[in-house]
Structures are given as C-alpha cells and as structure tokens.
Structure 1
Amino acid sequence: MANVRRFFRYDVEVPLYFETVDDKGYVLKVNRKKLISEQEEAHLEHLNLTIKELLAEAFSAESDALHIFYMLNHRINYMAWLLDDLIDQVDPRLRSDYKFRLREDHKHKLPDVRNESKVGPLIEGFFLQLTDHIHELIESVENSIDGKIFLFPRKIKPNFNERDYVKNLKELSDKGIAPAKALILLIERLNLYETILGRLKEAYHSISDPETWAVQKINLSAGGFSFLTNQKFENFAHMNVFMQLDDHILVCRGKIVLNKKLKSAEFSYRVAVEFEFLSNEHAQKITLFEQHCELQDAMKMVPDDLLN
C-alpha cells in the first residue's frame, strides 16, 4: 500500500538553508582564485622544491631525521592532493589511486622522538595537527552528498605555530642548522595549506553549520515543501536543500514546481519545492517529524485540567 502520509503537509518551523545549483545539479562553487592565488600556488611549488633539495643535500640516506622530514612532507602532499580536488568540488574517490593513497597514509605512525630531541614535541604536534587536517578532508569526502556537495562542519582551527613548542626555531634556522631549516620550511608549507583550507571552510560555512541557518516556517511533507517569500525564483530551477529536523540533518535536492504571485501585503510569492531522489530513510524521517509536531500541537490544545 502506498504511504498516504507522503503527501500529507503540515506547517512547521525548522532551521533551513537552500542554494541554487546549475542545470547538472552541481553546487555553484566558489571561484578557485578566491581560495588560492596564482602567487600562492607558485610559492607552494617553490617550497616543495626547496624542501626536497634541502633533504637531499643536508641529510645522509641513513639519517632518522631525513626519514621523518620526508614522511611529513609526503603527508603534506597528500593533504594538498585532497584539498586540490575539494577546491574544485571534485570527488577524489573518482581518482584511480584514491584507495591506494588512503592506505599508504594510514601506514604513517607518530614518530617516537620525544626523548631524543628538544624538537621532539614540535614534530609530534606537527604530525598530529597534519593528521587532524587529513582526517577532516577525508570525512568531507566520505560524507559528501553524491560526491558533489562537500560539507566542512568542523570549526576553523589556528595554524600550526612552532613557538608553542620551540621559541628559537627561526633563529636556529637562520644560523643554517639543517633540521631547523627543514622544519621551518615544512611549517610554512603546512601553514599555507591550512590558510587555504580555512578559506574553503569559510566559503561553504553557510551549508556546513546548521546554527547559521535561519528558522523558517514552511509547509512540509515527504514529497516537498512550500514557503512564503518576497524573493522571485525561476520555475523548475534546481536547488540543494539543507534542513534540520530535531537532531537529524536532511540534505537533498529539490525542484521549484510552483512560484505563485500573491496579493498579500507581507509576502509576494508562495514557492513550492518538490524533493528529487529523496531516499526512503529521509522520507520516513520527515513523516515521523511531522507526526511528532502534530502530536505536540494537539497536546497544546488539551485543557490543563485534563492533563493533570
């Protein structure tokens, strides 16, 4: 039997955000140049080349420091690889080497250097912060919507600062001490990618943080929703819809099927959005949410003396 409540509509107030998408259903993404400039890209290439040359010239092949610095730089490369695709709103899982890179990065372990060097805590802190960034990017990939909408719910964290661990690392680097020079270059490279990640998260902050979504009154069903507005929308335009239903976040696509002009003094249009490709799980969550709201409203109508 068909679910008759799929077409039941009920007025609710929910945190809601929606944005227009192009005709292929993709988010209208932020221009790459707003996230990373040509000068920054050139500087990152220069930093990577400089790091490789320093490691090859200043350390012997048997050096433990060489292996640690090479591993850290390799992991920055992995972070950059993930970040580059997310900047372009491309799913890295479509790359043939995605799983291979993921497995290879999992093999890297925290260096055991705390008792052997004054910069040991710095190296550990660097490794852990880099790991945190990589995990966040992988979460965005794995939790994406159809590999097209990438969310960044974590708050922006401060860039890694070597002075939290070693006060004179820059001075040691200026004196030509190779390990200090290598760390300063690695930190500068990481910091720049951290800055770019922060810009990316800021650009998509509105779809990643439900606390920023305005609470709107809508008429909701498992088939779609309607709302009153003074904004004009194009008929059959597509949009991505982000909606919080109690503790659940609903993210789906919709299509405008009604854009009715009103004579109301307060609102100019009633807009209706039909959900597209809504999963059965999400449809059920909407129906249960409506039933819960209906029950709450019904209880408010019951006289207090009948409840006691």
Structure 2
Amino acid sequence: MKQEKRRFFRVDVSLPLYVLSLPQSGVGSENFKQSILPEQHMQQFEQAAAALRVLFTDERHIANGAVALFDEFNQRIDFMAWLLTQLIEKKSPKAHPEFLTRLHQDREIVAPQSGRASKVFPLIEALHQRIDQLVESLLSLIDRNLEGETVFYAESDFPLFSGEDYLHNLSVLASQGNWLSQVLTHLISKLNVYEVAYHNLKKVSPIIPMPQNWPVQSVDLSRGGMAFDSSSHFKLHQKVCILMEIEGRVLLVYAQVVYVNSPTSEPLQSLSVQDENQRVAFQFEGLSEEDAASITRFVTAQELALAHPHQK
C-alpha cells in the first residue's frame, strides 16, 4: 500500500489591503518647512511665548495657583508644537531620545477642575480639550509616519480654536490688562500657529482612506512577504509601504518589489512593465515579531479552514 503523501495547503487569502509607494530618499528642505510653518508664524509663536513668560512672573497669580495651572497648558502646547515640528522636519518623534520623557510629562497633566460657577471655566475646559484632541491626533499620526512622509487617514479639519466663542469680550479684557484674559489670549495664539501648520501639512501629505474603504485583495501571504495580481504598475526594487487589516488591527509593513511578471510573459528583468495586469511579489523588510506572528496566525487559520471546511 502506497503511503499517502501529506497535503500542504497553499492558499491565497483575502484581506483589505492598501499599497503606498514611498518617496525617494533625500526629499525635504527648508523651503518645505517654510511652506508649512512660515517665519512670520514662528515669530507670532515666540512673541506669545515671551509674553507668557512675563505674565507667569506675577507674584499674586503664582500664590493663588493660576500660574501653575496655565503653565501646564503652555507645556502641553509646547509638546504639541514639538511633535508637529518633528513631522514637518521629516523626522520620527519616537526615535528622538526625549520622546518618552516628554510623553510621560504630558500624561501627568490632568484636566482642570472648577468647584464653582465661572464664566471663564467653559473656555478653559474647551481649550484643554482641544489640546487633548490635537496631541492624541498627532500621537496617532506618528504611528503612520512613513520614512519622512506623514500619512493621514481621512480626517476632517476643524476651525481654529477661538476664545471669543466662549467669552465674547476676551480680546477687550486682554487689551485692558486683565491678567487671565491676556494669558488665555497668548495661549490660544500659540495653539493657533500650530493648528494652521497642521492643516498645511495635511494639504501636502499623502492621504490614505480609512481601512473599511480599502479594496479586498486576494494575496499569497507569508511572514516573509506577499504576492498578488495587480492592475497597478510596480518596478523591481521599488520601496513601498503595505497596510493590511489582520485580526482587527492595521499592520503597517515596509517592503520591496522583488518580482514583476505579466501573466502572459516571462519574468521581467527590466525595471517596469506596461502590461495591463501583472503578478507582483514583495519582500517584507524589518517586520516586527508581533506583526509576523499576526500574519502567521492569520494564514494558518485560513489554511485550516480550507483543509477542514465543515469544522467551525
């Protein structure tokens, strides 16, 4: 009796997939930074920062705790500005030696509380919430930063923060020398400089749709790479970023094109192909153990489902 050969199931798996070509190295210049964060805006930021330093020396407001409260707002805005500056300069904030320290310091700052009714507190609370929103958005964005290019999912912009929406005579009170109104005005001025920069960066950065809008692709997938038929044209040795949704989370994987072939021709040795469809193979680069394990579990589950189709 012949020994039955063991079957190995090699299947194409279907999953939401998005491929983004990475930019050529060396992209980025001072001109790019100027277009996102013009010099006059930086001067506005520095002027507001200098005014706050003077206001924060007020002995009466040091004693009553107001300086400590608003200095925390100032620190959070500076942290937001630092994160955004790193992205504008095409750097990875996570790679900076100060990142974890700055992040920890920001996390230690708690939302302000008011024990009594105040006309100003809704403005203070809203300002804290806007800073929260921007910091969290930037931290999320940093996880999608691709080799010097900032990548956004579809995110709508919101109007710049305005203190007048909460206290209609804020600017008048500030012009009359009211300490609290002056502090809030300068904090909002600093915040708005980097809100504008954030909006400008979005306009020039590649935008990735939300995962639910990615095309579902049939791919030959392993922890080492993937291959699939594509109507888009790729070049040998081209660097890409592949985003795929596996096990309920998005994996961001760097890869290089190692094989390009049309279904009706021999493997191409040239750098590009003009056929309508092509088989493209990608080799993953720098894949984390966590992501590799997710891919392995996903592929194994698909193979087992095919081998035992009646088992739940």
- Report the CA distance between 1:260 and its aligned residue: 1.6
How far apart are residue 119 of structure 1 and its match? 0.6
Structure with the higher fraction of residues in helix conformation: 1
| Matched residue, 1:77 | 78
Distance 2:35 2:168 in 1: 33
Q: Does 1:255 align with 2:256?
A: yes
Change in CA separation of 1:67 and 1:290 when aligned onto 2, cut-off 3 Å? closer
Deviation at 1:258, TM superposition (A): 0.8
One-letter code aligned to 1:278? L
Which of 275, 278, 290 lines up with 2:287 in the alignment?
278
Consecutive unaligned residues of structure 2, counting only runs of 5 or more, are 1-5, 266-273
Give the superposition deviation at 1:162. Answer: 2.5
In structure 2, the CA distance between the partners of 1:23 and 1:195, relative to structure 1 (3 Å rule), is closer
Measured in 2, the distance between the counterparts of 1:114 and 1:214 equals 52
1:279–1:52 distance in 2 versus 1, CA, 3 Å: closer
Q: TM-score, normalised by structure 2?
A: 0.73
Contact 1:10 1:219 in 2 (8 A): yes
- Quote the residue 1:122 is aligned against: 123
Q: Which residue of 2 aligns with 1:181?
A: 182
Q: What is the letter of the counterpart of residue 270 of structure 1? A: R
1: CA distance between counterparts of 2:277 and 2:108?
Answer: 59
Pair 1:20-2:25 in alignment = no
* Secondary structure of 2:86's aligned partner: helix
The question of 1:239 aligning with 2:234 is answered: no
TM-score by length of 1: 0.74
- Equivalences for 1:45-194 in 2 at 5 Å? 45-56=46-57, 61-62=62-63, 64-113=65-114, 115=116, 117-141=118-142, 143=143, 155-156=155-156, 158=158, 159-194=160-195
Indicate if the aligned counterparts of 1:207 and 1:242 stay in contact, CA closer than 8 A: no
SS in 1 for 2:131: helix
Q: Distance in 2 between matches of 1:22 and 1:136?
A: 23
Report the identity percentage: 29
One-letter amino acid of the structure 2 residue matched with residue 249 of structure 1: V
Number of the residue aligned with 1:225: 226
In structure 2, do the counterparts of structure 1 residues 187 and 251 end up closer, same or farther at CA, with 3 Å as the change threshold?
same
Q: Which amino acid aligns with 1:228?
A: D
Q: 1:115: Cα distance to partner?
A: 1.8
Mapped contact 1:169–1:184 kept (Cα < 8 A): yes
Structure 1, unmatched stretches of 5+, are: none
The question of whether the paired residues in 2 share the 8 Å contact of 1:83 and 1:197 is answered with yes
In the TM superposition, residue 156 of structure 1 has moved relative to its aligned partner by: 4.8
Q: 3-state DSSP class of the match of 1:73?
A: helix
